[in-house]
Structure 1
């Protein structure tokens, strides 16, 4: 009998934010995101100048955990989740640590999308979900080998998940997703009338 193995596995971590660290008040976190977006004129200007749909604090506020206690609590919680994922990935950190580098708010309105991208210079990236109205976008992940498939035929429509070229993950409010930062991903167009709110982050090795 032939032996068929799965090699070079891409890992995706999914858990409830509440499984690690201090409890995070979901309503307070959502209110904080909208309050910051309303007050962050530099962020609003950056989004307008760069054609960014909705709002992100990525280019304007680099110290949310220092400014707001709820983001400090969130960062502590994320540290625990990243530690668990790091253990699963069996990284040899050589006595060093993975530390939070960036933490930013995303508010995506109806019709908005985030194009396919990676997170250079980071090790682990992820998102925790604050508001996910019915019908809003899932996270779409791309097989990192796609550019090397050349003349390969398409997969069958209902092929096994590990064989798909794209996998969409529909997180719930309070979920946290983690992946290695080289994994290409996107947020397709938000088809819901309400805004999709999330907080994304990067961890670096130092």
Structure 2
């Protein structure tokens, strides 16, 4: 009998924040995101200058954990989820922990997109979802081998999920999704009238 196995697996972590640690109040977190965005003139200027739809604090704020107690609580919970994911990935961390490198707010209005990208210099990246209105964008993940498949036929539309070149994941409020930072991903156009709000993060080693 022929044996077919899967090699070089790409892992995706999905859980509710509340599964590990103190629950984070979604309404308070959303209010904090909106308040910070309103006050962050440097972030607003960066978004306008770089043609970024909506708002991100990625280029302007590095102290969200100090700026708002709800973010300090969030970081404590994220640390636990990252540790669980690192254990699943069987990383040899040589006695060191993965540490938070960046955490930032994303507010995507109707019609906004976030183009395909990776997170260089990090180990684990992810997002937790604060406001996901009906009809808003799923997260789109890309098979990292795709550039090397130039001679391969396309997959069938009903191919098994693990064989598809792109996978769409529709998170819910309170979810945390994580992946290894080399995995290319994007947020397609937000088709909802309301804003899509999330908090993204990177963890590094050493």
TM-score by length of 1: 0.99
Distance in 2 between residues matched to 1:4 and 1:25, nearest whole Å: 45
Distance in 1 between residues matched to 2:21 and 2:140, nearest whole Å: 27
3-state secondary structure, aligned to 1:34: helix
* Residue pairs, 1:164-179, within 5 angstroms: 164-179=164-179
* Residue pairs, 1:31-180, within 5 angstroms: 31-180=31-180
Between 1:16-25 and 1:44-53, the stretch displaced more is: 16-25
Any stretches of 5+ residues in structure 1 without a counterpart?
none
Distance in 1 between residues matched to 2:3 and 2:82, nearest whole Å: 34
Q: What is the CA-CA distance between 1:66 and the residue it aligns to?
A: 1.3
Cα deviations across residues 134-175 of structure 1 (Å, max 9, x unaligned)?
000000000000000011000000000010000000000000
Q: What is the CA-CA distance between 1:55 and the residue it aligns to?
A: 0.2
TM-score by length of 2: 0.99
Distance in 2 between residues matched to 1:129 and 1:154, nearest whole Å: 32
Distance in 2 between residues matched to 1:105 and 1:22, nearest whole Å: 21
Q: What is the CA-CA distance between 1:65 and the residue it aligns to?
A: 0.4
Partner of 2:187: 187
Q: What is the CA-CA distance between 1:96 and the residue it aligns to?
A: 1.2
Partner of 1:18: 18
Q: What is the CA-CA distance between 1:22 and the residue it aligns to?
A: 1.4
4+ runs deviating over 4 angstroms:
none
3-state secondary structure, aligned to 2:87: helix
Cα deviations across residues 92-145 of structure 1 (Å, max 9, x unaligned)?
001111000100000000000000000000000000000000000000000000
> How many residues matched?
206
3-state secondary structure, aligned to 2:62: coil
